[in-house]
Every structure is written in C-alpha cells, then in structure tokens.
C-alpha cells in the first residue's frame, strides 16, 4: 500500500505538534524542511527525511524530489512573505493539497486568494485539527471553520462533532436526510447535554455528535 507523503515546511511549535500526531501512523511518509538545521535535528527521530534549505526558493523545492508529494503543510510563521511565496510556488508547481498556517485574518485571506486548499490559524489545537484533516478527508475546510472535532474509533468508525448545519435547523432528527447507519447520539446546547430521540428538534448553534463509518459520514457531508 502506497504511503501518503506529507511535506512539512517550517519547524516551530505548530509543526512539532503536527509531526508528533502524524508520526504515530505508519501510513505516512513525513518529510520536514527548514533553513535551521538545529530545528530539524529536534524532530528528526519522528520524520523519514529532512532537508535544510529555503523553501521559498522554487529551484530548491524542485531539486529535492518532492514533486509527487500528496500534502504540503506550510507552517512558516515568523516570515509572512516567505509563507506566502512558498504557498504560491507550491500551488503553481505541485499537484498535492496545500495546507498553510496563517497568523492573522488578513494573512488567511491572502492565502485563500492564491488558492491554498486549507488555511489554519496558528496554535497547538490547530495542529491537531490539521492532523485530523489529513487522517480523515471528511473534515473539509468548511467543517474546520465550523469548529469540528473528529475522534477515530476502531474499524473505520468515527465520532464527528459539528455545529448544526443550516439545513438541519428547526427540524426533528427523524426528518433529517441522513443515512440510517449514522446515529446522532447527543446535542450540546447552551452548555448542557441533550439526550436525543427522533423527536428532538435541532436548534441553531447546537453542537451535534454523530457516530458512523468514515465513508457514510463523508457521504452525509457531501449531500
């Protein structure tokens, strides 16, 4: 089985947290890039390869043999210009999904304009969400913006917690168009937990926990 190749550019707290999460799963090949060899040395035991160099240099990126990578994570945080330039080079020259860390709303808006697939605001929690997004593609950018959480169980089953989708608001659970194999198990509303049944009505801002297979959850979110 082909491993998913993930390139992490810029090693700081965000990258360290992300690498720590992903290194637990053997299905990933992790490659880290940074201009500081000391930073790379600190995470070298958790990645498969490291490269020392300037990732905002287009020629450097082309020469290190990463053109077939599946996912690029731009976690450069202390130099917005390098962050933007690197992201732009990746979108123009490589086919993989580009995830970039932003340090402000304006920075995030520019990243979206140049075509970055997923923009993450920078903190340790965001690193974990990025890892979950890589592990489970069903967490799209739209869902991550809705403050989603995904917990993997055994056998390809997950618990997905999301804010109520607009099409669900003011409807009873029995009237929702979701697969029968998916179960809404509880709702968090105004800091209280609501035990649900088919007659429970979903309200705006409810946080809904759903159990189902990753495949069925993915289908539900696409519909």
Within the chain, which residues score under 50 in pLDDT?
141-142
Q: Are 31 and 48 in contact (CB under 8 A)?
A: yes
The CA-atom distances, in angstroms, between 42 and each of 5, 45, 47, 101 are 20, 8, 10, 21
Q: Are residues 95 and 153 in the same domain?
A: no
Distance (Å, whole) CA 114 – CA 95: 14
Look at the alpha carbons of 148, 161, 156, 221 in this order and tell me if their dihedral is positive or negative: negative
Q: Domain of residue 216: give its range.
A: 149-222
Q: Which residue has the tokens 């520019």?
A: 110
Q: At which of 135, 157, 192 does a domain end?
A: 135
Q: What is the pLDDT of residue 126?
A: 65
Look at the alpha carbons of 118, 212, 219, 194 in this order and tell me if their dihedral is positive or negative: negative
Q: Are residues 23 and 84 in the same domain?
A: yes
Q: Are residues 154 and 125 in the same domain?
A: no
Q: Is residue 14 part of a domain?
A: yes
Strand partners, 212: 158
Q: Are 174 and 198 in contact (CB under 8 A)?
A: yes
Q: What pTM did the predictor assign? A: 0.63
CB-count exposure of residue 103 (10 Å: 0-12, 13-18, 19+)? middle
Q: Are 72 and 90 in contact (CB under 8 A)?
A: yes
Q: Is residue 141 part of a domain?
A: no
What would the pLDDT profile of 43-95 be if each residue is shown by its tens digit? 999 999 999 999 999 999 999 999 889 999 999 987 999 999 999 999 999 98
Q: Are residues 19 and 122 in the same domain?
A: yes
Q: What is the pLDDT of residue 153?
A: 67
Q: What is the pLDDT of residue 21?
A: 82
Q: Is residue 140 part of a domain?
A: no
């Amino acid at each position: 089985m082909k491993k998913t190749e993930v390139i992490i550019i810029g090693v700081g707290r965000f990258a360290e947290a992300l690498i720590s999460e992903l290194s637990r799963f053997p299905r990933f090949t992790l490659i880290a890039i940074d201009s500081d060899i000391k930073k790379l040395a600190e995470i070298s035991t958790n990645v498969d390869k490291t490269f020392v160099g300037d990732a905002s240099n287009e020629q450097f990126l082309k020469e290190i043999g990463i053109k077939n990578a599946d996912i690029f994570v731009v976690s450069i945080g202390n130099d917005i210009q390098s962050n933007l330039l690197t992201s732009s080079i990746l979108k123009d020259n490589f086919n993989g999904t580009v995830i970039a860390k932003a340090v402000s709303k304006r920075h995030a808006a520019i990243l979206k304009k140049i075509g970055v697939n997923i923009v993450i605001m920078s903190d340790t929690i965001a690193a974990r969400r990025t890892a979950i997004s890589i592990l489970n593609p069903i967490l799209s950018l739209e869902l991550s913006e809705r403050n989603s959480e995904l917990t993997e169980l055994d056998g390809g089953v997950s618990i997905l917690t999301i804010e109520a989708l607009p099409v669900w608001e003011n409807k009873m659970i029995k009237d929702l168009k979701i697969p029968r194999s998916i179960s809404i198990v509880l709702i968090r509303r105004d800091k209280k937990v609501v035990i649900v049944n088919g007659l429970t009505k979903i309200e705006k801002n409810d946080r809904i926990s759903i159990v189902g297979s990753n495949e069925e959850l993915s289908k539900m979110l696409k519909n």
